Chains A and B, each alone.
Chain A
Amino acid sequence: MGRTGPRAPHDADRHGLFPSREQSLVLRGALGDGPDALRAYEAWLAMVDMSRDFDREVFRLIPLLYENLRRLGHQDALTGRLKGTYRLAWAKNHRLFDGTRPVLDRFLAAGLRVMALKGAPLALCYYGNLGVRPMSDVDFAVPGDQAEAASQILAELGYRPWRTLDGDVKRFRHAVGFKAPGQKEVDLHWHMLVDLCDDTADDVFWQTAQPFRFLGRDILAPDPSRLLLLTIIHGLRWNPEPPVRWIPDAVMILRHGRQPIDWDWLVGFATERHLTYRLHLGLAYLTRQFAADVPPSALARLAGVQPTLRERLELRTLLKPLRYESAMGPLLDALAEFPRLPGIGGPFRTAGAFTHFLRFHWGLSGRREIPRRVLQGLRRRTTAGAAGARN
């Protein structure tokens, strides 16, 4: 059975979802081998203006680029500065990790079950190198019923959340970022992913989690199959500045190879959770651009799943600039996210629940503000659109 929606090659050309030309060259330089990597690096040098700031995503790839060029024995006038970005990332990551030591100690002393997500396990287990993957925070997950206790510990250690962990945040979000003086940042997760705010999805991750030695303590990390899913689904979203770090992260997981990826589980879980399109899009891109070792049968099975109405609605806002450009973008954005929330059912089943979610999503003090906010947004975007057309 084939798809009726747009296919990967069409979307792959869309700027804002997949890497720009500059980002692609740096990625090839950072992940490629032999002459191809060097050609990409030289092509990037030819197009980049060194006197200006780099694209943020490009900047975050430079340490990995340095490491790959070093591996290939390449040196030039820029090598010292590239090496400096590696040293800086290495130093910052060590400081960041060290800053979370008291947090981890208190979590464990309180008997919390702790899983490290994203950067820490990726850097230590898959890149095997703290210098090549810059990070700005450390992600810890705890089971949903331990989130308040973890939040309380963070508060006692001087961390402040960007949003108080109340009932709505717990229900509608998967994590909250906490900051403390001294550039200490922790993301506290009670669900693994914004797309999976659901205890039943979390159970799979906890059941398959693996021991992870972090800062001399024994905690958990997702196994490679679950981490690959998190990496691709978290990363593959439209943004004016395309997020590209998911690409080297996923490539490193796939290249690591010490444990096989459970492709049957990935396809099955993605199907059950309405994630097949994005997972296929990401894996197909990795295979096409970086010769990632993805079985054709897994790609074919993912491609053969017809996206559900719910998934198609979601894809309209996640993979395209709709939420930024359309007058109805914010409303469609909320409509797309709403059906994933547990215990709600279809998007229009519970008008009360949706308006409550809208109030939360838009940061309003009450539901009465919703119509006014919708009208304000429509007026602003329509005016901006008309001005753009005149110019």
Chain B
Amino acid sequence: MSSRAEWVINAPNAVSEVIDGELVVINLEKGRYYSSEGIGSYLWQCVEQQVRADAALAALTDGFGLAPERARSDMEAFLEALRREGLIREAGPDDILTSDAPGVSGQAYAPPELKVYSDMQDLLLLDPIHDVGEEGWPVKPRTPAE
């Protein structure tokens, strides 16, 4: 996959929200839940706003002072994870793209990571107060071995 490819959200299968900086996404077709913080959330917003890949890449390199190769590699890996999960699709001729990337806030850079919760049906049955870790649903409590 190249950052020259343009991506848009695979609606209506993928629905998302950014909750206090944390991206949460559901693939309604697959019944999977995802989350990502920091740069992952930023890149999702870029895809959601149909920002051209080169513009998003420029925002990462300029905003965080990253080497272009590193920014490209991190971004492509994240977009590939989104594509593999059916959350984004390649833009078509009817999709209107923009070169205006959203501003990068003053956060520290960390490579974007997509957390995948594939057992959503079971997760929905969890008591979100008592059956979860301190981070809250859907994160289960850590066992002592962890």
Nearest-CB residue, chain A, relative to B132: A84
A216 CB contacts on chain B under 8 angstroms: 12
B130 cross-chain contacts in A, Cβ below 8 A: 51, 53
**Within the complex, what minimum Cβ distance (angstroms) separates A314 from chain B?**
38
Contact: A90 with B24, CB < 8 Å?
yes
A84 contacts which chain B residues (CB < 8 A)? 128-129, 132, 135-139
A94 at the interface (CB under 8 A from B): yes
Contact A95 B134 (CB under 8 A): no
B5 within 8 A of A: no
Nearest chain B CB to A41 CB, angstrom units: 15
For residue B136, which residue of chain A has the nearest CB? Answer: A84
In this assembly, does A201 line the interface, its C-beta being within 8 Å of a C-beta of chain B? no
Q: A310 an interface residue at 8 Å Cβ cutoff?
A: no
Contact of B19 with A by CB under 8 A:
yes
A70 & B20 in contact (Cβ 8 Å cutoff)? yes
Interface residues of A in 63-122 (CB under 8 A from B): 70, 77, 79-88, 90-92, 94-95, 98
| A contact residues around B31 at 8 Å (CB) | 95
A85 touching B137 by the CB < 8 A rule?
Answer: yes
Question: For chain A, which range describes its interface: under 10, 10 to 19, 20 to 34, or 35 or more residues?
Answer: 20 to 34
The answer to whether B136 and A131 touch across the interface, beta carbons within 8 angstroms, is no
Q: A85-B129, A87-B24, A91-B26 are in contact. Are A131 and B134 (CB under 8 A)?
A: no
B124 beta carbon closer than 8 Å to chain A: yes
Least CB distance from B31 to A in Å reads 8
Q: How large is the interface on B (under 10, 10 to 19, 20 to 34, 35 or more residues)?
A: 20 to 34
Q: A86-B19, A131-B17, A216-B12 are in contact. Are A94 and B136 (CB under 8 A)?
A: no
| Interface membership of A387, Cβ < 8 A | no
Question: Which chain B residues lie closer than 8 Å to A82 at the CB level?
Answer: 136
Q: Is B138 a contact of A83 with CB atoms below 8 Å?
A: no
Q: Is B66 an interface residue (CB 8 A)?
A: no
Q: Distance (Å) between the CB of B137 and the closest chain A CB? A: 3
The secondary structure that dominates the A interface is: helix
Interface pair A81/B26, CB less than 8 Å apart: no
Question: Is the Cβ of A81 less than 8 Å from the Cβ of B129?
Answer: yes
> Of residues 11 to 50 in B, which have CB atoms within 8 Å of A's CB atoms?
12, 15, 17, 19-20, 24, 26, 28, 31, 33
Per-position binary interface string of chain A over residues 334-372, scored 1 when its CB falls under 8 Å from any chain B CB and 0 otherwise: 000000000000000000000000000000000000000
Q: Is the CB of B19 within 8 A of A87?
A: yes
B128 → chain A closest CB, angstroms: 4
Do A92 and B124 touch (CB < 8 A)?
yes
A246 to B17, CA, bound (A): 26
Which residues from chain B contact A183 at a C-beta distance below 8 Å?
Answer: 124
Q: Does B120 contact A (CB under 8 A)?
A: yes
Q: Given that A88-B128, A91-B120 are contacting pairs, would A83 and B24 also be in contact in the complex, using a CB cutoff of 8 Å? A: no
Q: Does A50 contact B (CB under 8 A)?
A: yes
Q: Are A81 and B20 in contact (CB under 8 A)?
A: no
A265 interface hit (Cβ, 8 Å): no
Considering the chains assembled together, what is the distance between the CA atoms of A105 and B127 in angstroms? 33
Using Cβ atoms and an 8 Å threshold, which residues of chain B touch A131? 17, 19
CA A82 – CA B135 in complex, angstroms?
Answer: 9
B33 to chain A minimum Cβ distance, whole angstroms, is 6
Bound Cα distance from A6 to B62, whole angstroms: 69
Q: Please give me the residue from chain A that is nearest to B139 by CB atom.
A: A84
Which residue of A is nearest B127, CB measured? A53
- Contact among B12, B15, B127, B138 for A87, CB-based, below 8 A: B138
Which A residues lie within 8 Å of B127 (CB)?
53
B residues near A70, Cβ cutoff 8 Å: 20
- Bound-state CA distance A81–B133 (Å) is 8
Q: In the complex, A90→B126 CA distance in Å?
A: 14
Chain B, residue nearest A182 (CB) = B121
Contact call B26/A94, Cβ cutoff below 8 A: yes
Q: Is the CB of B136 within 8 A of A50?
A: no
9 pairs across A/B with beta carbons < 8 Å? A50-B129, A54-B129, A81-B129, A82-B136, A84-B135, A87-B138, A88-B138, A90-B17, A95-B28
Given contacts A83-B20, A88-B138, A216-B12, 15 further A-B contacts (CB under 8 A): A53-B130, A70-B20, A77-B134, A79-B136, A82-B136, A83-B136, A84-B137, A85-B136, A87-B24, A90-B17, A90-B19, A90-B24, A91-B120, A98-B28, A183-B124
A positions within 8 Å CB-CB of B:
50-51, 53-54, 59, 62, 70, 77, 79-88, 90-92, 94-95, 98, 130-131, 183, 215-216
- The 4 A-B pairs at the shortest CB distance, nearest first, are namely A84-B136, A84-B137, A80-B136, A84-B128
